Structure 1
Amino acid sequence: MAKKWEYATVPLLVHATKQILDTWGEDGWELVQVVPGPNSSEQLVAYLKREKQA
Structure 2
Amino acid sequence: MATGNAAPLNSIDIRYLRYYEPDSSYRVRATVKLLLNEQPFRMPTSDGTSKA
Q: Per chain length, whose mean CA-contact separation is higher, i.e. which structure has more relative contact order (CA < 8 Å, sep 6+)?
A: 1
Same fold by TM-score greater than 0.5: no
Structure with bigger strand share is 1
Q: Which has the higher helix share?
A: 1
The TM-score with structure 1 as length reference comes to: 0.19
Question: Which structure has the greater CA radius of gyration?
Answer: 2
